[in-house]
Amino acid sequence: MSFSETAVRDILSHFNLPGTFAASEPIGCGHINDTLCVSYRQSAGVVRYILQRINTHVFRNPDQLMENVQNVTTYLLEYLRAHGGDVQRGTLTVFPTTDGRTYFRTAAGDCWRVYNYIEDTYTLQSIGDCEDFRKAGVAFGRFQQMLADYPSDSLHETIPNFHNTVSRFADFMAAVEADAVGRAATAQPEIDFVRAREKDTHVLVDLLRDGKLPLRVTHNDTKLNNVLFDNTTKEGLCVVDLDTVMPGLSLYDFGDSIRFGANTAAEDEPDVAKVSLSLPLYNAYARGYLSAAGQSLTPTEIAYLPFSAKLMTLECGMRFLTDYLQGDTYFRTTYPTHNLVRCRTQFALVADIEKKMSQMLAQTIAIAKSFGKDVPPCC
């Protein structure tokens, strides 16, 4: 990614930013959007902002996306103000264009937006220890708690059926039947693994349909590097990357956090013997998450936290396998069997979670009780 200073200045001229442009530089390591840190000289010193180009190949309706982001960040700002939070650093703020829009579209069709730059923070690309993961759990739990009363059904679905596991299973079966690139024969054990767990894909979808789980605001990308940590306190300060904020289940966010963070191996580790669910990491994240979100969650939501880790891992593996069967059209790969290796890693983690489900549930119940929440029996 490279943008000339002239191009950057021209884009920024369409935003209401006080001061005089000083510099810009690429920032971050995301794979979806292009991000720059831009500096402005003001009377009190240099102020920095985030200038970001929205990937409209992934997010095809930037109007709906930015309406979600604007409304959620405004709500968070008012929540922080009402509860004595850090209104300058506790949430992202969208800076409008000169004509009052949430983003600027160039003549070429590129869509650019500006956020505040939150100073004196850092991100983590990997988990150093259980305490890191616990703090991430607190941050995402607080995000869920702050938005507990937000009218989630007013949000747009920026990626339709993103965590609809019934729909994902249907897509998977269609890919198996089509066998577009002749790979099904090389993945028969993995195909059988998914087929044997079709009932699992219905569990949360059916609970939502039957009114036993509430529709909530969900982040849908709860990786560790989407939390900004305070340089001084080392605590989670702000959750970022809000493009996938949509209506959904709190369990989607929790489950995907565990899938990503409590795995003892890399997401594409070829040696599945190295893959397992770390119970200490699960415990740490659950404790942090429930300490912040526990009072806003229903007992049924809490009861299904361990199952959500299994389901989101199964879904991810299913998506990797679907892409492998379709010829690697979605996920970026570096060798022909990359997606097959990825799905095997996820399925190994599913199998280990199944073995440890009773321990995970016992830990969850104990943590919930320590915060005054009773958990009903479930699956």
pLDDT, tens digit, 9 for 90 and up, residues 109-148: 999 999 999 999 999 988 889 999 999 999 999 999 999 9
Percent of the chain with pLDDT over 70: 98
Q: Position of tokens 């036993």?
A: 212
C-alpha to C-alpha distance for 68 and 156, rounded to whole angstroms? 7
Q: Which CATH superfamily is domain 130-370 in?
A: Aminoglycoside phosphotransferase (APH), C-terminal lobe (3.90.1200.10)
Going by pLDDT thresholds of 50, 70 and 90, the confidence category of residue 32 is confident
Going by pLDDT thresholds of 50, 70 and 90, the confidence category of residue 31 is low
Q: In 237-268, which positions are buried (b, 16+ CB within 10 angstroms) versus exposed (e)?
A: bbbbbbbbbbbbbbbbbbbbbbbbbbbebeeb
- Give tens-digit pLDDT for 214-269: 999 999 999 999 999 999 999 999 999 999 999 999 999 999 999 999 999 999 99
C-alpha to C-alpha distance for 120 and 257, rounded to whole angstroms? 25
Closest CA to 263 of 103, 187, 188, 272: 272
DSSP notation for 233-302: T-SEEEE---TT-EEE-HHHHHHHHHHHHSBSS-TT-S-GGG--B-HHHHHHHHHHHHHHHGGGS-HHHH
| Residue 241 Rama label (left phi>0; alpha psi -120 to 50; beta) | left
CB 120 within 8 A of CB 86: no
Across-strand partners of 248? 216
CB 54 within 8 A of CB 103: yes
Helices 188-195 and 305-326 pack at an angle, to 10 degrees, of 140
Q: What are phi and psi of 41, to 5 degrees?
A: -85, 125
- Give tens-digit pLDDT for 164-217: 999 999 999 999 999 999 999 999 999 999 999 999 999 999 999 999 999 999
Q: Position of tokens 């397992």?
A: 276
Q: pLDDT at position 291, please? A: 97
Measured from the Cβ of residue 134, the count of other Cβ atoms closer than 10 Å reads 20
| Section 307-329 average pLDDT | 97
Going from N- to C-terminal start, the domains of the chain cover: 5-119, 130-370
- For residue 85, pLDDT over 90 is answered with yes
Q: pLDDT at position 244, please? A: 94
Q: pLDDT at position 336, please? A: 96
Q: pLDDT at position 1, please? A: 57
| Residue 30 Rama label (left phi>0; alpha psi -120 to 50; beta) | beta
Write the DSSP symbol of residue 15.
B
Q: Share the mean pLDDT of the chain.
A: 95
Parallel/antiparallel/unpaired status of strands 45-54 and 94-95: unpaired
C-alpha to C-alpha distance for 148 and 207, rounded to whole angstroms? 19
Q: pLDDT at position 270, please? A: 97
Q: Kindly report the CATH class assigned to 5-119.
A: alpha beta
| Section 314-335 average pLDDT | 96
The two tokens of residue 316 are: 């991810």
Taking CA atoms, 52 is separated from 26, 30, 32, 336, 348, in Å, by 10, 11, 10, 32, 37
| Section 57-76 average pLDDT | 95
| Section 339-352 average pLDDT | 98
Q: pLDDT at position 379, please? A: 55
- For residue 30, pLDDT over 70 is answered with no
Going by pLDDT thresholds of 50, 70 and 90, the confidence category of residue 29 is low
Q: What are phi and psi of 105, to 5 degrees?
A: -105, 125
CB 378 within 8 A of CB 360: no
